[in-house]
Amino acid sequence: MLTRSTRVRYKLMQFTMALALAGLAAASSASELRFCLRIDPKTFNPLLVEDDSSEAIRYLTGGVLIRLNRYTQELEGELATQWKVSENGRRIDFELRPGVRFSDGTPFTCEDVIYTMRLLMDPKMHSAVGDSFRSAPGPVESKCAGASAVTVRFPAPVAALALQFDQVAMLSAHSAAKEAAVLGPFELGEYKPGVYVLLRRNPNYWKRDASGRALPYLDSIRLDIQQNRELELLRFRRGELDIVNKLDPELYDRLSSEMPHAVVDAGPSLDWETVFFNQVENAPLPEYKRRWFRSDDFRRAISEGIRRDDLVRIVYRGHARAAVGPVSAANRFWLNPALQPASGSESAVLALLEHAGFHRSGSTLVDRDGNRVEFSMITNAGNKLHERTLALIQQDLARFGIQLNVVTLDFPSLVERISRTFNYEAVLMAFTNLDLDPSAQMNIWLSSAANHQWNPNQKTPATPWEAEIDKLMVAQAGSQDRTKRKTYFDRVQQIVADKVPMLFLVNPNALSAVSPNVKNVAPAALRPQIYWNADRLQIGGSLVSER
């Protein structure tokens, strides 16, 4: 027989257990997607985004007028139902979606578009996104053309104008919440620096699925700040994370052997692994080396001598594609199909070297003045893929008597050498390419550009072929005719293949891992590969309520 005090204690215990179970049930019914950011986001202002973490948050929270569908690679209307580019890329007219509200309930109107464009193009903002619209000096005119129509007019034609709006998250002109009022599927819930960013479902998100259910399906997204890839992988294995958005080939293979259903290889990405030689006029190089690096035949010979298939097979474990030029196979429209990959044939390399005045002297290659062919190639320290790539290239070139000295430097020293002191001979670098459109590569191909890596900031083009590339790039950027633009850029790709200012080695595949719990995943080669359709992702097993 239970005493009164025992009965009270028993009831209390039952009550506590019931509460705990209720809590557990509530926790399990909330659908939360979890993945990692490498570093803290530098800003939550979508117009000031420059780093990957801030970019991820802008993508998940920001509402844009036009969105590039990462899967189909086509533009789709989001906040704009229709748009029209006119005046040769100088003007764009939007028809806005009616009834859209910011996350705080403020209505979305044409005034918000005008406000956003004004802030974006304000030089004091120093917005990198704004810079991509800045084709010429002069004001940008934005005006409401009716209740739900906006016209934006630029002082000069803007290349791929509509596509550029994929990065412009709309801000509210009237909301007291400022940039915290968003139009994307999620809004910022909580941020603990160095620990996590929590994004909550935007209750006013405008999109619905085919059955009329309000999107997004997820209640929240938790982005843990985690720099250590090993820990990230460990947490993924334990089920504490749902996505690992970017994996290197080694981690991919390791995970693949343990969780074959979780890994995703979405094929070649837009990124490049590339080598270029220093061709800067006043670089601190011996004259004979400057002559080598400026010789088209020498660069072509080096390019031909690198066995790209071995790089793909050994360094990237098959998770890459041998590159033929500046456009990846993932970029279906802009790739020039006429380009052929480097043959790697020994006779072709020897013929090119001979034509450039090089010959064998014993086991070493020498130039016509008897200088032994030896040069250094720098890359960033700690990057295993780069170190292995260089080790393979070293042996590839040794076949022809070329001595390659591999130098690994910390990244700031490397950047200092290639962009300020120009005290280097050759460099192996990875280029991250976010955009399909060739206009995004203007800063590399224009001879006057700071990122024209092999010989930047030229006052006048140093070579006739660079002058031709300049003309073609300007022409393609100024044209709205896609077919014409393609013709121009195909020619650029052909010149680059012939003159080899950059040696394109491989396009690494877009590798990621997704928990089988996550539904509606459609991996794409373009970033963000896995969560590009975040508003439609679901966590399996959790009940998605009708909203």
Partner 1 sequence: MSFKQKVALAILGIAVAASLGAGLLAQSPYSEQFRDAISAPPSAHFWLGTDELGRDRFSRLLYGTRVSLLLAPAAALLATLIAALIGGAAGYLGGRWERFVTAGVDLFLSLPWLFLLLAVRALLPLNTSPVTSVIITFLLLGCLGWAAPARMIRAGTRMLVNSDFLVQASASGVSRWRLFWRHLLPNLRPILLAQFWISIPLFILSEANLGLLGLGVSEPLPSWGAMLRDLENYSAVLQNPWILAPAILLVAVVGCLQLLLRTEDSVAC
Q: Which residues of the chain form contacts with partner 1 (CB under 8 A)?
A: 250, 254, 257-258, 310, 314, 374-376, 378, 381-384, 387-388, 390-392, 394-395, 405-410, 413, 423-425
- Residue (105 or 382) nearer to partner 1, CB: 382
Q: How far is the CB of 547 from partner 1 (least distance, A)?
A: 43
Please say whether the beta carbons of 276 and 426 come within 8 A. yes
Please say whether the beta carbons of 461 and 183 come within 8 A. no
Q: Please tell me the distance from the alpha carbon of residue 173 to that of residue 321, in angstroms, as a whole number.
A: 46
- Residue (383 or 494) nearer to partner 1, CB: 383
- Residue (206 or 316) nearer to partner 1, CB: 316
Q: How far is the CB of 251 from partner 1 (least distance, A)?
A: 9
Q: How far is the CB of 372 from partner 1 (least distance, A)?
A: 11
Q: Please tell me the distance from the alpha carbon of residue 246 to that of residue 385, in angstroms, as a whole number.
A: 14
- Residue (68 or 263) nearer to partner 1, CB: 263
Q: How far is the CB of 471 from partner 1 (least distance, A)?
A: 35
- Distances in Å between the Cα of 156 and the Cα atoms of 136, 159, 491 are 6, 10, 24
- The number of helix segments (H) and strand segments (E) in the chain equals 16, 22
Provide the 10 A C-beta neighbour count for residue 542.
17
- Residue (140 or 392) nearer to partner 1, CB: 392
φ and ψ at residue 60, rounded to 5 degrees: -85, -25
- Using DSSP, state whether 235 is helix, strand or coil: helix
Alpha helices in 440-517 (DSSP H): 442-445, 464-478, 482-499
Q: How far is the CB of 407 from partner 1 (least distance, A)?
A: 5
Q: List Cβ neighbours of 332 (8 Å cut-off, separation of 6 or more).
A: 73
- Residue (423 or 443) nearer to partner 1, CB: 423
Q: List Cβ neighbours of 235 (8 Å cut-off, separation of 6 or more).
A: 36, 224, 226, 241
Q: How far is the CB of 410 from partner 1 (least distance, A)?
A: 5
Q: How far is the CB of 331 from partner 1 (least distance, A)?
A: 30
Q: How far is the CB of 254 from partner 1 (least distance, A)?
A: 5
- Residue (112 or 232) nearer to partner 1, CB: 232
Please say whether the beta carbons of 222 and 198 come within 8 A. yes
- Residue (277 or 334) nearer to partner 1, CB: 277
Q: In DSSP terms, which residues pair with 92 in a beta bridge?
A: 85, 152
The residue with tokens 């027989």 is: 1
